[in-house]
C-alpha cells in the first residue's frame, strides 16, 4: 500500500508536485529579477546618455563673432580693438569660457579667417571633414604681465600691456593632420604662422574699445 501524506496524496506525487512548485517559483524569481535588472539598466543608461548630452552641449557652446567699428576690428569680449592688416581682413573668432592657468575664469578667443578655412579644406579629400581649427588664441588677464613668465603663470606670450590688464596670445604647436600630407599640410602650417605674426604686429597699436 502506498504511503500518503497529510493531504491524502501519495508521497511520490506529493514530492513531484512540491518539486514542480519549486521550479515554477524559481523561474518566476529569475524572470522578476531580470525585469528589475533591465529596468535599472534602462534608467541608468538613459541618465548616462542625458548627462553626456548635457556635458557635450555645455562644452561646445560658443559664438562666432566678427565686429568692426570705425575701421577697427573689435574684440568685444576683451574690450580691445586693432587695425587689421590686409591678410586679416576676413578675420573672425570664436569665444569660449574657460579657466586660465592662474585659476581665474576668463574668455578665450580662437582666431580664424575665411582664407585660412579654405586652406584647411584643401587639405582634405572631403572638404566637409576639415576641422574648424584656429591659427591662434587670445586672452585677457587683469594686472601686469609676469616678469618671470612661464607656462605655469601665463596662458601665452604678451601681445599688449594696458594700464590695468594685458592681452596674451598663443600659437598652436600643430594645426591639423591633413589626409593630403605634404605640400597642402605645409601650406596650412605656413599660412597659420603668417596670420599669427600679422596679428602680433597689429596688437602693437591696439587700443581699448568702448
> What's the CA gap between 6 and 84, in Å, rounded?
102
- Of 61, 85, 100, at which residue does a domain stop? 61
- Could you list the pLDDT tens digit for every one of the 210 residues in the chain? 544 445 454 554 444 444 454 555 555 554 444 444 433 333 323 332 332 222 222 344 455 566 666 789 999 999 999 999 999 999 999 999 988 888 888 899 999 999 998 888 887 777 776 667 789 999 999 999 999 988 888 889 999 999 999 999 998 765 556 776 677 778 888 898 999 999 999 999 999 997
Phi-psi region of 70 (alpha: psi -120 to 50; beta: other; left: phi over 0): left
- Of 17, 35, 61, at which residue does a domain stop? 61
Q: Are residues 115 and 181 in the same domain?
A: yes
Q: Are residues 53 and 97 in the same domain?
A: no
| Number of domains forming the structure of the chain | 2
Q: Are residues 11 and 78 in the same domain?
A: no
The kind and range of the H/E element at 187 are helix 183-202
- State residue 133's pLDDT score: 78
Please give the distance of CA 45 from its chain centroid, rounded to a whole number. Answer: 22
Q: What is the grid cell recorded at 166?
A: 594685458
Q: Are residues 98 and 167 in the same domain?
A: yes
Q: Are residues 87 and 56 in the same domain?
A: no
Q: Are residues 42 and 114 in the same domain?
A: no
Q: Are residues 73 and 51 in the same domain?
A: no
Would you give the DSSP letter of residue 103? S
Range of the domain at 23: 1-61
Residue 174 CA: distances (Å) to CA of 119, 142, 146 = 15, 29, 26
Q: Are residues 109 and 155 in the same domain?
A: yes
> What's the CA gap between 62 and 64, in Å, rounded?
7
- State residue 2's pLDDT score: 44
> What's the CA gap between 155 and 170, in Å, rounded?
7
Q: Are residues 86 and 26 in the same domain?
A: no
Q: Are residues 40 and 77 in the same domain?
A: no
- Three-state SS at 24: helix
- Of 42, 61, 80, at which residue does a domain stop? 61
Which position has the grid cell 518539486? 19
> What's the CA gap between 157 and 137, in Å, rounded?
10
> What's the CA gap between 141 and 149, in Å, rounded?
13
Q: Are residues 29 and 124 in the same domain?
A: no
Q: What is the grid cell recorded at 149?
A: 613668465
Would you give the DSSP letter of residue 107? E
Q: Are residues 43 and 109 in the same domain?
A: no
> What's the CA gap between 109 and 65, in Å, rounded?
10
- State residue 51's pLDDT score: 29
Taken in order 148, 152, 156, 159, the sign of the CA dihedral is: negative
Amino acid at each position: 500500500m502506498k504511503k500518503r501524506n497529510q493531504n491524502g496524496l501519495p508521497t511520490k506525487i506529493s514530492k513531484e508536485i512540491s518539486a514542480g512548485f519549486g521550479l515554477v517559483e524559481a523561474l518566476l524569481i529569475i524572470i522578476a529579477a531580470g525585469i528589475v535588472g533591465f529596468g535599472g539598466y534602462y534608467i541608468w543608461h538613459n541618465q548616462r546618455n542625458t548627462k553626456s548630452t548635457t556635458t557635450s552641449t555645455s562644452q561646445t557652446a560658443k559664438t562666432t563673432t566678427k565686429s568692426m567699428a570705425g575701421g577697427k576690428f573689435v574684440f568685444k569680449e576683451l574690450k580691445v580693438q586693432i587695425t587689421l592688416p590686409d591678410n586679416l581682413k576676413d578675420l573672425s573668432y570664436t569665444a569660449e569660457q574657460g579657466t586660465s592657468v592662474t585659476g581665474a575664469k576668463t574668455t578665450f578667443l580662437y582666431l580664424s579667417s575665411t582664407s585660412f578655412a579654405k586652406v584647411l579644406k584643401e587639405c582634405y579629400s572631403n572638404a566637409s571633414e576639415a576641422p574648424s581649427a584656429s591659427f591662434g588664441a587670445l586672452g585677457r588677464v587683469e594686472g601686469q604681465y609676469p616678469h618671470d613668465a612661464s607656462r605655469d603663470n601665463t596662458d601665452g606670450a604678451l601681445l599688449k600691456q594696458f594700464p590695468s590688464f594685458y592681452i596674451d596670445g598663443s600659437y598652436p604647436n600643430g594645426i591639423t593632420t591633413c589626409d593630403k600630407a605634404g605640400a597642402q599640410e605645409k601650406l596650412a602650417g605656413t599660412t597659420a604662422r603668417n596670420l599669427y605674426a600679422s596679428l602680433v604686429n597689429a596688437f602693437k597699436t591696439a587700443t581699448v574699445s568702448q
